[in-house]
Structure 1
Amino acid sequence: MAPVDIVSWAESLDQLLQCKTGLLVFEEYLRSEYSEENLLFYLDCEAFRSLPPESDRTAAARRIYREFVAIGAPRQININCVTRAEIRASLSDPGPDCFSSAQRRVHSLMAQDSYPRFLKSPVYQALRLTATST
């Protein structure tokens, strides 16, 4: 892990998410807080959007819906009922962007809440200190 990478994680949530190591550290931090569902949903949406047209999008969309979107889902994300209903309605023929609205909301929540907490966390502060002292 290059010192520059660690320092760049503080530039933006997107910068952190683009770094494989940063992503792993952030996910582990969120897991320690029992709040990794937003990140996992975000990553699943990215993978879903990249599915080739011939893949079974319907099965993938339903899995994401059951795991993150449905009321009472094991890793239920915090989205409004209108967005939840729109996703549910699109499950019969889901396009690559059927989760986009919810994904933007989750990204915004992470940027405003869990990402700033991560930057203040002892984990990140220790990594940053190590990176800047070398």
Structure 2
Amino acid sequence: MCKGLATLPASCLKSAKDIKHKISHLLQKPEPQAADQKQMKEKTSAAAAKRVPTAAEVEKWKESFSYVMSSESGRMIFSSFLKSEFSEENMDFWLACEDYKKTNLSELATRAKQVCQKYVEADAPKEVNLDSATREETMQKVENASPSSFDEAQKMIYNLMEKDSYRRFLHSKLIQDLCQTQDAAALGKKEKKYCDRAKNSHALIGGA
């Protein structure tokens, strides 16, 4: 009798389940967010927040940082990695800039000052790593706020994450755990496919 996944070692199955549980818990775990980040998180679909990324998604993330940033689950997992390195303010700022661009014109000036005070000004609560020229230029643009006021600063932080944190992210335990989960899932599917094929062959022989 073919048992599919039951034929795999118990330790292998338990390990895969544990990893999947940890990743699922990570994606669902609420983190304290300021008002600007709460807005962005509320717009994230519940389905994307709960599911474990597919093998294809993880492979895409390994190809390019842009794939990480264009994926909701990718941003969540990368944010968790940044938090482990005490640099989550970079993702928070990038998301705040994305949200800022969608702000109504009547609220633009107020919103620009809030983002600037929180991330851009020297000694800001979540100050991001900008060079002095970009910091000064951004603060001047905030005085006459427009949807593009933070474009240069946002681009600089994006490049910083891509050239620095992203490289470590690719070799992090988060990615390794995801790959192990996907490998275990692929092995399970292979075993199930073999089992189904064996059952079909047995049925044909029996019918003959």
1:7–1:131 CA contact under 8 A, matched in 2 = no
- Paired amino acid for 1:94: A
1:70–1:84 CA contact under 8 A, matched in 2 = yes
> 1:68 maps to what in 2?
119
Report runs of 4+ in structure 1 exceeding 3 Å deviation: none
TM-score normalized by structure 2?
0.60
CA RMSD of aligned residues (A): 1.4
TM-score normalized by structure 1?
0.91
* Structure 1 residue 92: Cα displacement: 2.6
Cα separation, 1, equivalents of 2:56 and 2:182? 7
Percent identity over paired residues? 30
In structure 2, the gaps of 5 or more residues are 1-52, 187-208
The size of the alignment, in residue pairs, is 133
> 2:75 maps to what in 1?
23
Deviations 1:64-110 (A, max 9, x none): 11111000011111111121111211223211111111111111110
More helix by share: 2
State which of 95, 99, 118 in structure 2 corresponds to 1:43: 95
> 1:120 maps to what in 2?
171
1:107 aligns with 2:158: yes
Cα separation, 1, equivalents of 2:109 and 2:123? 21
The structure that has the greater radius of gyration is 2
* Structure 1 residue 118: Cα displacement: 0.7
* Structure 1 residue 50: Cα displacement: 2.4
Q: Secondary structure at the match of 2:63?
A: coil
In structure 1, the gaps of 5 or more residues are none
Higher relative contact order (CA 8 A, sep 6+): 1
